[in-house]
Structure 1
Amino acid sequence: MIVWSYGTVMRIIREEETLQEVEVRVGEKDLSAALNYPQLTGRIEPGEKVIMNTTAFELGLGSGGKHFVSARIGADGQPIIDAEAAQCGHIIKLRYTPFQHAVQTAEEGKIIAESLDMAEKALKQTPVIIGETHSMLPAFVLSIRYLSQREGEGKMPRICYIMSEGGALPLALSDHIRHLQSLGLLVGTITYGHTFGGQTECVNLYTALLAARFVWEADMIVIMPGPGIVGTGTALGFSGMEQVAIIETVHKLGGIPILIPRVSRADSRERHAGISHHTATVLRFVRNTPLLLNLEQNPELIAQIGEQSRHHTLILHDPLNREEWQAIEASYPGSLTTMGRTAEEDPAFFVHTYYAARLAQSQYEKREAVRKMDLFA
Structure 2
Amino acid sequence: MTECRVRWDGACESTVALDGEDRTVRALSYPQLVGEVVPGAHVLLNATALLRGLGTGGYALVVARTDALVPDPLPGPGHLVKARYTPLQAMVLGVDDQESPHHGVLRDADDLAGLPVVVADLHSALPAVIAGARATAARLGREAPRVAYVMTDGGALPAWFSRAVDGLRSAGWIAACVTTGQAFGGDLEAVTVHTGLLAARHVVGADLVVVAQGPGNLGTGTRWGFSGVAAGEALNAAGVLGGRPVASLRVSGADARHRHLGVSHHSLTAYGRVALTASDVVVPAYSPDLPGTPRDLMDDPDPGAWSALADRVAGQAATLTAPAGRHAEVSVAADGELLDALRGCPVRLSTMGRGLDADPAAFLAAAVAGAHAVTVG
Same fold (TM over 0.5): yes
Following superposition, the deviation at residue 93 of structure 1 comes to 1.0
Corresponding letter in the other structure for 1:360? A
CA distance in 1, matches of 2:62, 2:38: 12
CA distance in 1, matches of 2:115, 2:262: 29
Contact 1:107/1:203 (<8 A) preserved: yes
- Cα distance change of structure 1 residues 43 and 214 upon mapping to structure 2, 3 Å threshold: same
Contact 1:292/1:312 (<8 A) preserved: yes
Matched, 1:356 2:347: no
List per-residue Cα deviations over 1:169-220 (Å, max 9, x = no partner). Answer: 1101111111111111111111011101001011111111111111101111
Contact 1:38/1:85 (<8 A) preserved: no
Q: Select 1:340's aligned residue among 337, 353, 360.
A: 353
Contact 2:231/2:271 (<8 A) preserved: no
Following superposition, the deviation at residue 138 of structure 1 comes to 0.7
Q: Note the aligned Cα RMSD (angstroms).
A: 2.0
Following superposition, the deviation at residue 115 of structure 1 comes to 7.9
Contact 2:251/2:361 (<8 A) preserved: yes
State the secondary structure of the residue aligned to 1:259: strand
Match of 1:39 in 2: 32
| Unmatched runs of 5 consecutive residues or more in structure 2 | 286-309
List per-residue Cα deviations over 1:7-28 (Å, max 9, x = no partner). Answer: x32x211123411111111113
Q: Select 2:5's aligned residue among 1, 7, 13.
A: 13
State the secondary structure of the residue aligned to 1:318: strand
Corresponding letter in the other structure for 1:346? D
CA distance in 2, matches of 1:46, 1:208: 38
List per-residue Cα deviations over 1:245-274 (Å, max 9, x = no partner). Answer: 111111111111101001112111111111
CA distance in 2, matches of 1:51, 1:85: 24
Which stretch has the larger CA shift, 107-116 or 36-45?
107-116
Q: Select 1:301's aligned residue among 289, 307, 313.
A: 313
Following superposition, the deviation at residue 329 of structure 1 comes to 2.2
The residue correspondences of 1:118-129 to structure 2 (distance < 5 A) are: 119-120=109-110, 122-129=111-118
The residue correspondences of 1:102-121 to structure 2 (distance < 5 A) are: 102-108=91-97, 109-113=100-104, 119-120=109-110
Give the structure-2-normalised TM-score: 0.86
Corresponding letter in the other structure for 1:197? G
Q: Select 2:207's aligned residue among 219, 235, 238.
A: 219
State the secondary structure of the residue aligned to 1:58: helix
- Cα distance change of structure 1 residues 85 and 265 upon mapping to structure 2, 3 Å threshold: farther
Between the two structures, name the one with larger relative contact order (CA 8 Å, sep ≥ 6).
2
Corresponding letter in the other structure for 1:26? L
- Cα distance change of structure 1 residues 362 and 112 upon mapping to structure 2, 3 Å threshold: farther
CA distance in 2, matches of 1:342, 1:357: 19
Contact 2:147/2:176 (<8 A) preserved: yes
List per-residue Cα deviations over 1:216-250 (Å, max 9, x = no partner). Answer: 01111110111110111111111110112111111
| Unmatched runs of 5 consecutive residues or more in structure 1 | 1-7, 365-377
Give the structure-1-normalised TM-score: 0.86
Matched, 1:28 2:42: no
State the secondary structure of the residue aligned to 2:96: helix
Matched, 1:245 2:245: no
Which stretch has the larger CA shift, 128-137 or 30-39?
30-39
Match of 2:342 in 1: 328
CA distance in 2, matches of 1:87, 1:56: 34
CA distance in 2, matches of 1:255, 1:207: 13
Contact 1:18/1:38 (<8 A) preserved: yes
Q: Percent identity?
A: 35
CA distance in 2, matches of 1:72, 1:318: 52
List per-residue Cα deviations over 1:155-174 (Å, max 9, x = no partner). Answer: 11110001111111110111
- Cα distance change of structure 1 residues 42 and 278 upon mapping to structure 2, 3 Å threshold: same
Corresponding letter in the other structure for 1:58? L
Following superposition, the deviation at residue 309 of structure 1 comes to 4.3
Q: Select 1:284's aligned residue among 252, 264, 272.
A: 272
Contact 2:136/2:374 (<8 A) preserved: yes
The residue correspondences of 1:37-116 to structure 2 (distance < 5 A) are: 37-74=30-67, 79-83=68-72, 88-108=77-97, 109-113=100-104
